[in-house]
Amino acid sequence: MINNNTKNKVLVSVIVPSFNHQLYLKERLISIVQQSFEAFECIILDDASEDNSVEIIDSFVGEDDRIRSFKYLQNSGNTFVQWNKGVHLAKGEFIWLAESDDIADSELLAKLLKPLIEDQDIVLSYCQSHKMNHQGNVTGSWLDYTADLDSIQFEEDFVMEGIQFIDKFLIKRNVIPNASAVLFRKSIFDKVGGADEMLKTNSDWLTWLKMLCYGKVAYIHNHLNYFRYHSKSVIGLANSLKSENQYSPKFDYILRKNIIQFLKLHSIVLPKRSVEYNKSAIQLDEGNLGLFVLGNGLFLYGWFLILKSSIYPKLQSGFIKKALQLL
């Protein structure tokens, strides 16, 4: 149980990566300082914001001695660089990556921390999230995102072995879609090498996959997190970069290749079903990439990918037929 004595012994590090979110930053920081669990430090990393974010940050630093800030003059271009910087600076045993445009229920930390304290094998605890637009209106939740995978599982709290969770859900899609809803052990984040800074849009997914190879996941069905959608959010910016002249993988084959390398390096074995699903997803993305580059005049590379994807991991002729139609 979390009581006053426990609070004195446990320190959570709240890391706020900040960039040009002046419209939402004050509300975000208020939702942090008003947490019912108070034994935390808050580290704000401003990534060379061009708006009034720094002024807002300074006003909070002066009012609460739990908050400290770091201001960078050059933008990193990647929120996962800020993740790694923040965790490196953190003094706490547990990490909450509180994105600067989201907000939280005042009980989020207390409820996410409880299973982590009660079971040392739990490496990651997360809750259900509301979807919220740029005006702060709740437009839904993420239950519809998981309904086709399991319409019942996410309606109640659960604790599950990490490998089982990967096999049932996480190998298929990122069912932990918002870092602001997650509390995790710093030691495990460090153990897996932190966030992969080469991936700009889905390194969070890869991080959860790696961490859950080393322990259990706890899920809280309460909607304690408010995940904000807007044009300058990480997802919004990623979507804005997509165009007809740029290939967009459907199944995230680069991430999937990275997890294969990680598993091999650390001698971790996933269930056969997960391995086969991962291979098939890579096959589909590489085949579609082959069609894309072939259509843009890169014949040798296009045919290489198409032929490769037609024989491994299983034989199929669909990509070859589509490629012949392009000629």
Taking 90 as the threshold, does the pLDDT of residue 150 lie above it? yes
Q: Which two tokens stand for residue 159?
A: 């604790």
| pLDDT of res. 237 | 46
Q: Which two tokens stand for residue 88?
A: 């490196």
Q: For 237-275, how does the pLDDT look when each residue is reduced to its tens digit (9 = 90+)? A: 444 444 556 888 988 999 999 999 999 999 999 999 999
> Under CATH, domain 4-240 is a member of which superfamily?
Spore Coat Polysaccharide Biosynthesis Protein SpsA; Chain A (3.90.550.10)
Query: Contact, 281 vs 205, CB < 8 A?
Result: no
| Nearest in space to 257 (alpha carbons), one of 312, 200, 191, 206 | 206
Query: Contact, 85 vs 45, CB < 8 A?
Result: yes
Query: Contact, 96 vs 181, CB < 8 A?
Result: no
CA distance 86 to 80: 10
CA distance 41 to 111: 17
Query: Contact, 43 vs 109, CB < 8 A?
Result: no
Question: Hey, where are the domains in the chain?
Answer: 4-240, 253-326
Taking 80 as the threshold, does the pLDDT of residue 60 lie above it? yes
What pTM was computed for the model? Answer: 0.92
| pLDDT of res. 267 | 97
Taking 90 as the threshold, does the pLDDT of residue 9 lie above it? no
CB neighbour class for 254 (10 Å; exposed up to 12, middle 13-18, buried from 19): middle
Q: For 281-301, how does the pLDDT look when each residue is reduced to its tens digit (9 = 90+)? A: 999 999 999 999 999 999 999
Average pLDDT of the chain is: 92
pLDDT tier, 314 (very low <50, low <70, confident <90, very high otherwise)? confident
Taking 90 as the threshold, does the pLDDT of residue 168 lie above it? yes
